[in-house]
Structure 1
């Protein structure tokens, strides 16, 4: 089993200040949807946020709510907090803007990581996705070193870690389509995902992602 970490961060400027984690999608609050989807492979679940108050009554008592040790430092700040406080060695980290997270995909990534890597990340839809990756808890030290040096980008983190990719073909051979990485940064993208999730509720097959996915080049929280 793993620790599942949801990063609730960013100023949400392109969402007109709306917190993505608290928006509804598929008839439920996004953070609750993510927790439900992640639970089958996670014995522990953590929400990292610098504003815990909206989540205190929303989340069950067994969900840990923590804050960044290094606030306002982007996703690396949240990753450091989650990795540092995780009780399990394997930590599955996602962004709060990803409504289609996949437990089967995370399980495959965990298996790949156990081949001797510090992390395993999906390489799908033409890019790598650090925010649907499985990391070793010890990666907290590398993240902290980057934060101390003023490097707060996910791309820099990947230069420092010994990580493995899991390709689109590998997921498809396991019956997992790559749309699990789809996410949103704007209200327009959110509306498109509402339509997609509605369609998925009547079909067990996850279709290919559209052009609003968020890989490394545009995957920073905010």
Structure 2
């Protein structure tokens, strides 16, 4: 597996959270902020963590926090900003709304890295997860070019790179679950209390 000194963790936490109505990274599940779950999953595997966010509160987590280069341009811009700030060849990119994420799923992705691929992403129940993925630093040029052309769709940007999908097993499917609405948050909270 790749030495952790050559891996940076990048958490995208700058979204508008329009469906949730509040900053998703700071939402609490089991008394812990959503963003902390991503931090905990990354910590054993990386030498550095960068949070991409325009929210000043995210600096409280104690990691380098950078703003999106281009405002309101979605995850394509967030990934560009994160890769630009990274000093590593390999970068584990996570969204901040996946409270069930665990290091072992990220380790599985790391085991699949090789020189032939730019991006190694999880695939859960047939759906690819470009925000639970490893991006090589060299993706920056492609993403930047697309951003400059006005492209905002993450899946389009990802498809301009050489990608390997790593299917999750039944136990890992839950780790990829992202929480976008208050209803979804209530569901996982109720399930946890039952």
Give the TM-score of the pair, scaled to structure 2.
0.90
Q: Secondary structure at the match of 1:113?
A: coil
Q: Tell me which residue corresponds to 2:159.
A: 159
> Structure 2 CA distance, aligned partners of 1:196 and 1:148?
44
Aligned to 2:110, the other structure's residue is in SS state: helix
Aligned residues between the structures: 189
Q: 1:37 to 1:196 in 2, by over 3 A?
A: farther
1:3 counterpart (1, 8, 33): 8
Which runs of 5 or more structure 1 residues have no equivalent in the other structure?
Answer: 200-222
Q: What does the per-residue CA deviation read over 1:139-166, in whole Å, with 9 as the maximum and x for residues that have no partner?
A: 1111101101111111101220001011
User: Are positions 1:13 and 2:8 aligned together?
Assistant: no
Match of 2:53 in 1: 49
CA drift at 1:32:
2.0
Secondary structure in 1 aligned to 2:133? strand
Q: Over residues 88-109 of structure 1, what are the superposed CA-to-partner deviations in whole Å (9 max), with x where a residue is unaligned?
A: 2110111111112222211221
- SS of the equivalent of 1:107 reads helix
**Contact 1:37 1:102 (8 Å CA) reproduced:** yes
2:28 corresponding residue in structure 1: 24
Cα deviation 1:182-213 (Å, max 9, x = unaligned): 011110011122245567xxxxxxxxxxxxxx
TM-score, normalisation: structure 1: 0.79
Shift of 1:26: 1.7
Instruction: Please report how far the alpha carbon of residue 31 of structure 1 lies from its aligned counterpart in structure 2 after TM superposition.
Output: 1.5
Q: What is the match of residue 215 of structure 1?
A: none
- Is the Cα–Cα contact under 8 Å of residues 25 and 197 in structure 1 kept in the other structure? no
Could you list the runs of 5+ residues in structure 2 that have no partner in the other structure?
A: none
* CA RMSD between the two structures: 1.7
- Structure 1 segment 1-222 matched on structure 2, within 5 A: 1=4, 2-16=7-21, 18-51=22-55, 53-56=56-59, 58-60=60-62, 63-114=63-114, 116-168=116-168, 171=169, 176-196=171-191
Moved over 4 A (4+): 196-199
